[in-house]
Amino acid sequence: MADSGIGSRTTRREDKRFLTGKGRYTDDINRHGQAYAYFLRAPVAHARVTGIDTSAAETAPGVVAVFTGKDMEADGVGSLPCGWVVTDKHGQPHKAPPHFPLVRDAVRYVGDHVAMVIAESAAEAKDAAELIQVDYEELPAVVDPMQARSSQQIHEAAPENLCYDWELGDKAAADAAFAKAAHVTKLDLINNRLVPNAMEPRAAIGEWDSGTDEYTIYSTSQNPHLLRLILCAFVLGLPESRVRVIAPDVGGGFGSKIFAYAEETACTWASKKIGGRPVKWTAERGEAFLSDCHGRDHVTHCELALDADGRFLGMKVDTTANMGAYLSSFATSVPSYLYATLLAGQYTTPVVYANVKAVFTNTAPVDAYRGAGRPEATYVVERLVEIAARETGRDPAELRRLNFIKPDQFPYQTPVALMYDIGDYEPSLDKALSMIDYKGFGARKAASEARGKLRGIGLSAYIEACGIAPSAVVGSLGAGVGLWESATVRFNATGTVAVMTGAHSHGQGHETTFAQLVSEKLGIPYENVEIVHGDTGRIPMGMGTYGSRSLAVGGSAIVKACDKIIAKGKKIAAHLMEASEGDVEFANGQFTVAGTDKSKAMAEIAFTAYVPHNYPEGVEPGLDETAFYDPLNFTYPSGVHIAEVEIDPDTGITTIADWVAVDDFGNVINPMIVEGQVHGGIAQGVGQALLEHTVYDRDSGQLLTGSYMDYAMPRADNFPTFRVETTTSACTHNPLGVKGCGEAGAIASPAALMNAITDALGVEIDMPATPEKVWRAAQAKLRVAAE
Amino acid sequence: MYDFTYHRPSSLEEAAKLLAGAEDGKILAGGHTLLPTLKQRLAQPSDLIDLSGIKELKGISEAGGAVVVGAMTPHGDVADSSVVKARIPALAHLASDIGDAQVRHRGTIGGSIANADPAADYPAAVVGLGATVKTNKREIAGGDFFKGLFETALDENELVVSVSFPVPEKAGYAKFANPASRYPIVGVMVAKTAGGVRVAVTGAGASAFRWTEAEQALSANWSADAIKNLTHGPDGLNSDIHASAEYRAHLIGVMARRALAAAG
Ligand SMILES: Cc1cc2nc3c(=O)[nH]c(=O)nc-3n(C[C@H](O)[C@H](O)[C@H](O)COP(=O)(O)OP(=O)(O)OC[C@H]3O[C@@H](n4cnc5c(N)ncnc54)[C@H](O)[C@@H]3O)c2cc1C
């Protein structure tokens, strides 16, 4: 068991099916009699729809049905809700305009859903869609969040296209702190809009059974129960008990598959409309670019006040966040509670004030994307701190150290609502500095310069908050759901175990990590543990996977369920060994009686539970326990990433020369999986900082980066070999002492890379640091140097 | 994709006849440009005439001081060819850096030049090495082949049969790849040929063109110094979300110097 328990680098059991083409994704599933849906999408960014003529499409070859928003309206289909109500600074709820799965009166972004064609084949559905005549009365479109408030209104319910004007922190106290400052660093930042680009595009099959009046939805969802809840309670008005959502293998999500979208809603509704034939839809890559929820898209002005010794006195942040054309499922929480609450970073900054204006534009909806708010916060804090160090002539590492919250200050109440339970920041900093040979940077820079290259180094000391919790707190902040997790641990009579978890794996390796955990907890072979997830018909109600919550919250639920199994096992073991329950101990899979050599193996207890011939009185047969876990607090992973870059001033090409990451994720169950998560996160952060850019045409609102020809995804040759290490301060409030690692890389890395690039260039540029931008800055620097 | 009639002729004559007889026929080579266009419903040809059954169109040979590449030869074959590597290493290098392995196994030289994408690599070689394009009707000088954005000298029913590259004394190719597509934003071929020095630029304009100032400078003095301070102007160059005309103009100089260094 040593090679598969907690702490071992067990290879991922799910990889066998993934790497041999045996994964079973939604598009691999074909249902008897299935028809295919195609969505006619808005070709313009903003227009009144004055007429839709579907008659020619309806009689086209293979067409089963054509539906528009009017059909849904007649059927009482509701609006896709936003599940988090943010209260603005005047005490008013955010503006939540309707978001109908198929548009009713207007289209509001290129890709908006105009009509649905269902046909015998996807090709016929697409052919027929071309025959639909839509009358558009075009309206001016706005894509830039800074122009939103003075542009054509997009929703009746949202004057000035303002969703909310929200604040956190004490403005007067911040102003007072700034008045005392010896130095103020000011910065304007753009956090560029990203397209999530999961490898598997979204897909759905909606199926209504006319015999039982039950629905089955196959969907690429990160949280099948949440999808069921939203569709049943808000949009389609169905009883949850009649709806089963199956999210089979899912090929990446990064947040974009949390949300309830128009397409799965429409497929589910339409299946009944056409008499019960399953309706399948699979996004093309181009549709994914247009209609998956995007990430980030902030414009920020921020300021940091320092005293004469370099201590942070206060921070002020003013952000405009682009919500896109409609509010996606959790969009409003991202630039508010998942963002401004992280602005204290790892520092003792006593006062922070943030003002966030969320606005509507004629672009795809924006919602959580790997990190969701925390990358934006880290980018603000870590860019500000770095620039402050440069401006005041301090070593950036030492300025951070000076302002770190010290180990004896935990639990630490930040000025932006969060209470950090634990952290120890200097060991990560010291380890990272030593790994990258920080002292040797000057020599490396000189060597680069001798070759005509510019070299820069940049740090990012991030903090993040995972496992959004506890439910009561998030509820008080506007969340429409609870954020606990569930698990069932079910022994079979022969000693094997099925674990039903409410968390969902779409690349994270839960089938391995959770099995390692259960194997260790129950002292049974790793091979005997099977992890079941992603099917509301098989698992207890669960909240799914996002926000790096699966191990911290879902894993804790599993531990609780295991504890219940052990407690019950003790009763059975006590009976079998004729001992009192209080004397029975459990370790390494054996129940023993203190002070005797009596013992019973877990498997034997399980067998007895199901074949209870000799059984304690008053104890139920069976060994099958369910637990729900509601965390007491967020967890707070932290760490230090350092990037070193070399820039070719002739071309503007940035090469990442080295990257070190030292992360404190608390206890680690599978270091290999954790490193993989960090690698992937850094890759996405580097993508944001160096390559990825979502560009809408300012006049027409067309998406100009709608394919891989124009949207630059990072590739393996964009990276050095990452050097990844961990330090450990175990989380104090969950039973595993774990914190979460899924998003850290994407949270830490953009700031580290941009700090390195701007260190090399000596001037500020915004992300992504494209070759042309870098070249222009490098030329300016060389010109100045020559003068 | 709309419906079309598929043909797979086994001779050039048959292919030409099918093309002439079709209402709106299209040649299919590697399909790496044509098929995505069809999938996106941006074209609706009546017939597709697949050249993959015509053996004589595929392969590389050496004849009369030139390397001859058949129209249906995929980029990967050019990159790996011992003849090309020995005689025109710059051409092998150019081919080895087109797209990715999958693209190099399917995409063909005939398809690439017939398509005349302003951002394709091969046009730099066709123009820069002074190649001759052989069609089923005639021979076209490389410098006359590209006529503008996605436009060539090919007549309606004319097929590329092969491209003949005279072996240069020296040649080098340098490419600045678009970070997204990895097509060239600017690619420059610099060659010292029997017919003189040629410097051809792809990616920067509507189609590949020669940089005559650089050719003159290098004719006078084949050395890095000759073009050290030479700059190309931005007028008429492409400008898009990836690179402004000014940046492309600058890159022409940088890539020319790198190509020269590679040529030796
Ligand atoms: C992901 C990707 C990356 C790429 N990267 C690069 C790159 O970095 N650099 C680069 O230069 N290219 C690149 N390409 C283009 C690719 O290398 C091919 O050159 C290109 O797709 C055309 O060749 P093909 O054989 O696929 O032609 P097809 O797609 O089959 O045909 C293209 C056009 O040429 C016509 N045609 C084909 N053969 C002939 C012929 N013999 N005579 C007359 N007309 C003909 C067809 O009718 C069609 O109009 C890339 C392509 C992809 C998909």
Which tens digit of pLDDT belongs to each residue from A230-283? 999 999 999 999 999 999 999 999 999 999 999 999 999 999 999 999 999 999
Residue range A617-652, pLDDT digits in tens = 999 999 999 999 999 999 999 999 999 999 999 999
Q: Which residues of A228-246 are buried (b: 16+ CB within 10 A; e: fewer)?
A: bbbbbebbbebeeeebbbb
Q: Where are the CATH 3.30.390.50 domain residues in chain B?
A: 170-263
Angstroms from B234 CA to nearest CA on chain A: 14
Cβ of residue B16 closer than 8 Å to a chain A Cβ: no
DSSP-derived letter for residue A169 is S
Q: pLDDT tens digits for A392-411?
A: 999 999 999 999 999 999 99
Question: Where does A183-242 show beta strands of DSSP type E?
Answer: 183-191, 203-209, 214-219
Ligand 1 centre to CA of B36 (Å) is 11
pLDDT of res. A1: 42
Task: Report CB contact under 8 Å: B242, A710.
Answer: yes
> Which residues have C-beta within 8 Å of that of residue A567, sequence separation ≥ 6?
none
Q: How many CB pairs under 8 A join A and B?
A: 45
Give pLDDT tens digits for A320-353: 999 999 999 999 999 999 999 999 999 999 999 9
Write out the CATH class of domain A484-629. alpha beta
Please check whether the two domains, A31-139+199-252+257-291 and A484-629, share a CATH topology: no
Residues of chain B contacting A40 with CB distance shorter than 8 Å: none
**CA of A650 vs chain B CAs: smallest distance (Å):** 7
> What is the Cα–Cα distance from A319 to A189, expressed in whole angstroms?
9
Interface probe for B, chosen from A650, A653, A655, A700 (most Cβ of B below 10 Å), is A650
Class of domain B56-166: alpha beta
Q: Is B180 on the interface with A (CB under 8 A)?
A: yes
pLDDT tens digit string along B218-256? Answer: 999 999 999 999 999 999 999 999 999 999 999 999 999
Domain spanning B5-50, CATH class: alpha beta
pLDDT confidence of residue A549:
93
Give which of B44, B117, B247, B257 to mutate to test A binding, by max A Cβ within 10 Å: B247
- Asked if B247 and A775 come within 8 Å (Cβ–Cβ), the reply is yes
Residues of B in contact with A709 (CB under 8 A): 180-181, 183
pLDDT band of A2, cuts 50, 70, 90? low
Each residue of B77-108: b (16+ CB within 10 Å) or e?
bbbebebbeebbbbbbbbbebbbeeeebebbb
Nearest CA owner, ligand 1 atom 32? B111
Instruction: Determine phi and psi for A624, rounding to 5 degrees.
Output: -155, 105
- Quick: pLDDT tens for A715-754: 999 999 999 999 999 999 999 999 999 999 999 999 999 9
A152-184 tens-digit pLDDT:
999 999 999 999 999 999 999 999 999 999 999
Any idea which residue has 């943030």 for tokens?
A354
B141 touches chain A (CB under 8 A): no
In angstroms, the Cα distances linking A400 to A275, A403, A420, A461 are 64, 5, 18, 8
pLDDT digits (tens, 9 = 90+) for A519-570: 999 999 999 999 999 999 999 999 999 999 999 999 999 999 999 999 999 9
Q: B179 and A705 in contact by Cβ < 8 A? A: no
Listed by start position, the domains of chain A span 31-139+199-252+257-291, 298-468+633-786, 484-629
- DSSP-assigned letters across all residues of B59-107: -EEEETTEEEEETT-BHHHHHH-HHHHHH-HHHHHHHHTSS-HHHHHH-
Say yes or no for a CB contact (<8 Å) between B180 and A711: yes
Q: Which residue in chain A is spatially nearest to B186 when comparing CA positions?
A: A651
Question: Has this prediction a pTM greater than 0.90?
Answer: yes
Of the residues B44, B175, B230, B241, the best mutation for testing chain A's interface (the one with the most A CB atoms within 10 Å of its CB) is B241
B257 to chain A: closest CA residue: A650
Q: How do residues A80-136 score in pLDDT, each as one tens digit? A: 999 999 999 999 999 999 999 999 999 999 999 999 999 999 999 999 999 999 999
Which CATH number applies to A298-468+633-786? Answer: 3.30.365.10
CATH 3.30.43.10 maps onto chain B at 5-50
Instruction: Assign a CATH topology to domain B170-263.
Output: Enolase-like; domain 1 (3.30.390)
In Å, what is the CA distance from A737 to each residue of A165, A422, A666, A740?
37, 11, 6, 10
Q: Are strands B5-7 and A183-191 parallel, antiparallel or unpaired?
A: unpaired
On whether any CB of chain B is under 8 Å from the CB of A705, the answer is yes
- Flag whether the ipTM exceeds 0.85: yes
Q: What single-letter DSSP state applies at residue A81?
A: P
Of A130, A710, A775, the CB nearest to B241: A710
Total residue length of chain A = 787
Torsion of CA B65, B68, B74, B75, to 10 degrees: 30
Backbone phi and psi for residue B209, each to the nearest 5 degrees, phi listed first: -140, 165
pLDDT of residue A275: 97
CATH architecture of A31-139+199-252+257-291: Alpha-Beta Complex (3.90)
**Tokens 């600017």, residue?**
B186
Ligand 1 binding pocket mutation candidate from B11, B56, B112, B138 (most atoms within 8 A of CB): B112
Within 8 A by CB and 6+ apart from B173, the residues are B90, B91, B93, B94, B121, B124, B125, B128, B187, B188, B189, B190, B259, B262
What does A572-588 look like in DSSP terms, one character per residue?
Answer: HHHHHTT--GGGEEEET
Segment A494-503, tens digit of pLDDT:
999 999 999 9
